[in-house]
Structure 1
Amino acid sequence: MNYKIKKINLNHSFIFFIICNIFSFTLIKFNDLIISPIVCLLLILVIGVSHGSLDHLKGKKLFKILNIKQFSIFYLLYILMAILIIILWMAIPSTSLLIFLTVASYHFGKEDTQFLINEFSYLNQLLYFLKGLLVILAPLYFHFNETLVIFKFLLIENELFYSSLEFIETNKLILVGIILSTFSSMVLYLNKFEIKKFTIFLDYFSILILNYYLSPLIAFTIYFCFLHSIRHSISLVYEIDKISFKNGINIFVKKALPLTILTAIISLIGLYLLNGIYDLDNSILKIIFIGLASLTFPHILLEYFLEKNEK
């Protein structure tokens, strides 16, 4: 990524950091302010999901590299992978959650940072994972019991799972993980230093502020929609038109709209069906996190195979 994309992302991180502080101050000032889970779901469906809504175009690019003519195979594989993740979650929820959190940590760290890094190394991959781990550990550190309630809503009923988490929390291992994440951010920041890498620490403090003041669901929604997803969308806009960012945004919106709408419709149908079994908030949490897991795995695999075959 060149100077332009780094500057755009630095400005984005700075604005996001300011908004996090203003929003947190507002919450303290009006401590009865409540954001409904349905608002979180709608934000994720409209803004969060859209950053993966160009996967079909990436799929076409990958199939062209692999010289595969039948593009319908891509849609079939993508959908089957998403359905498989949901089935596995229903069958082995504790294992599925652990794998999802591990994969998500790497994905968040990599997608939020790689535009600043010019070289591939296994050390950088480890640093990406540790950096992204902050998104997972911060809610556990600041709101441990509330986070456990969310896990229970996600069909996690394994007592060993919860006793392990309580052991980790009691022995300050969550704090150790946050310290390691902090160290990884420092290494990424200082290695081949340039001022635009301050983006890393703006993001770091934004995530801590969000999770300190807000509930886990709201903190994750704001991070996922307005930092992670927008950052990924910025890179897609830049790929579409490297000269006119405004034109790139217009094209991106037009291309992203169909799959974003389709995903939203499927999610709302799922919410309607689940609401016949569970209460509304419980159903929303299932749609958000199990639904995101089902989309995240094929999305990450596509990114991996495209990146590998382009090289």
Structure 2
Amino acid sequence: MINNIKRINLNHSFIFFLFCNIISIITFKAKNFSISPLICLFLILVIGVSHGSLDHIKGKRLLKIFDIKNVFIFYVSYILLTIFIIIAWVLLPAISLLLFLIVASYHFGKEDTQFLTTNHNSINPLLYFFKGLLIILAPMFFHFDETVTIYKFLLVEDETFYTILDYIETNKILLIGIVLSTLSSVLLFIKEFEIKKFVIFLDYFSIIILNYYLSPLVAFTLYFCFLHSLRHSISLIIEIDNLDFNNGLIKFLKKALPLTILTAILCVISLFFLNNIYDLNSSILKVIFIGLASLTFPHILLEYLLEKYEK
């Protein structure tokens, strides 16, 4: 099963790498090429969100571990944590954004890589963090002003926060961070070396290409939907049925559809109300990133508890 996942993910990374190169050529030839924020939101709601839409099933597994029979407890806890994150972001946007970027770096690095490692030692979490940090640093390195503008749209108005960002950008700290991310990818590649680990470098160059040629929002959307989310969904499909991928895919879609639709409806409602206060693009950015943060924290917590207690 593990070798099957590695093989599928290697093929997936190679196809995504080719896709990124095609996008870069199109962008280079067509100077005004872009994807609207509305399309980015649609892709994230349809493809991106679905990779976490089996959390209710995982929640039942967690309740079973703690011998809790009332599934209502899980739903209430999950929703309350989501609401708490949104409230925290409104009250403390700079701190919430910083925590989200740190947690997201680790999450992206781990979920995009852990299927390649069998020796889980104490240094792996640090390598995962620095590897995933590329997702956060690359947009700022190639499009600093655009990235800062997005942060401002996310309710972050603390001037000290932007003074620190300017200091980081001026003193080449972003470049140092990318070098550290590169070194972490190299270390993960040479540990327990096998040919399938070229996934790491295919993903690395795909992220660099996307962020060099595209705006931060579009680059993140393509990465999040077509690399990160699809990879996680593939692992869930194989987990459902490791003998028949097509059968696993059908079952996954049936199980993922309810929460995916519910999340999409809530996001559209939020967009409707936000659009009465802010312009459309600003409202979309808030729904995408604050919404993802509110879903990411409980998703990561659930994954952590399952990983800890199922062992």
What interval of TM-score do these two structures reach, taking the shorter chain for normalisation? over 0.9
- Structure 1 residues 191-237: Cα deviation after superposition (integer angstroms, max 9, x where no partner): 11000000000000000000000000000000000000000001100
Match of 1:273 in 2: 273
Give me the whole-angstrom Cα distance separating, in 1, the residues matched to 2:207 and 2:66.
Answer: 39
1:189 lines up with 2:185 in the alignment: no
Match of 2:298 in 1: 298
Match of 1:19 in 2: 19
Aligned residues: 311
Match of 1:217 in 2: 217
- Structure 1 residues 148-181: Cα deviation after superposition (integer angstroms, max 9, x where no partner): 0000000010000000000011000000000000
Match of 1:170 in 2: 170
Match of 2:66 in 1: 66
What's the TM-score once normalised by structure 2's chain length? 0.99
- Structure 1 residues 269-307: Cα deviation after superposition (integer angstroms, max 9, x where no partner): 000000000000000000000000000000000000011
Structure 2 contact 109–131 (Cα < 8 Å) conserved: yes
Structure 2 contact 34–214 (Cα < 8 Å) conserved: no
Give me the whole-angstrom Cα distance separating, in 2, the residues matched to 1:110 and 1:150.
Answer: 25
Residue 2 of structure 1: how far off its partner (Å): 1.4
Match of 1:149 in 2: 149
What's the TM-score once normalised by structure 1's chain length? 0.99
Structure 2 contact 143–216 (Cα < 8 Å) conserved: yes
- Structure 1 residues 124-147: Cα deviation after superposition (integer angstroms, max 9, x where no partner): 010000000000000000000000
Residue 34 of structure 1: how far off its partner (Å): 2.4
- Structure 1 residues 12-70: Cα deviation after superposition (integer angstroms, max 9, x where no partner): 00000000000110111111222110000000000000000000000011111111011
Match of 2:41 in 1: 41
| Paired residue type of 1:49 | V
Give me the whole-angstrom Cα distance separating, in 1, the residues matched to 2:224 and 2:33.
Answer: 21
Q: Any idea what SS the aligned residue of 2:284 has?
A: helix
Residue 71 of structure 1: how far off its partner (Å): 0.7
Residue 119 of structure 1: how far off its partner (Å): 2.1
Q: Any idea what SS the aligned residue of 2:112 has?
A: helix
Written as runs of structure 1 = structure 2, the 5 A alignment for 1:103-252 is 103-252=103-252
Q: Any idea what SS the aligned residue of 1:164 has?
A: helix
Structure 2 contact 130–184 (Cα < 8 Å) conserved: yes
Q: Any idea what SS the aligned residue of 1:135 has?
A: helix
Match of 1:287 in 2: 287
Runs of 4+, deviation exceeding 2 Å: none
Written as runs of structure 1 = structure 2, the 5 A alignment for 1:47-62 is 47-62=47-62
Give me the whole-angstrom Cα distance separating, in 1, the residues matched to 2:89 and 2:35.
Answer: 28
Give me the whole-angstrom Cα distance separating, in 2, the residues matched to 1:91 and 1:32.
Answer: 38
Give me the whole-angstrom Cα distance separating, in 2, the residues matched to 1:243 and 1:5.
Answer: 12
Give me the whole-angstrom Cα distance separating, in 1, the residues matched to 2:185 and 2:152.
Answer: 31
Give me the whole-angstrom Cα distance separating, in 1, the residues matched to 2:239 and 2:305.
Answer: 18
- Structure 1 residues 231-280: Cα deviation after superposition (integer angstroms, max 9, x where no partner): 00011001000101111011000100010000000000000000000000
Give unpaired runs (5+ residues) of structure 1.
none
Of 31-40 and 289-298, deviating more is 31-40
Give me the whole-angstrom Cα distance separating, in 2, the residues matched to 1:34 and 1:238.
Answer: 34
Structure 2 contact 104–132 (Cα < 8 Å) conserved: yes
Give unpaired runs (5+ residues) of structure 2.
none
| Paired residue type of 1:286 | K
Among all aligned residue pairs of Structure 1 and Structure 2, give the percentage whose two residues are the same amino acid: 68
| Paired residue type of 1:83 | I
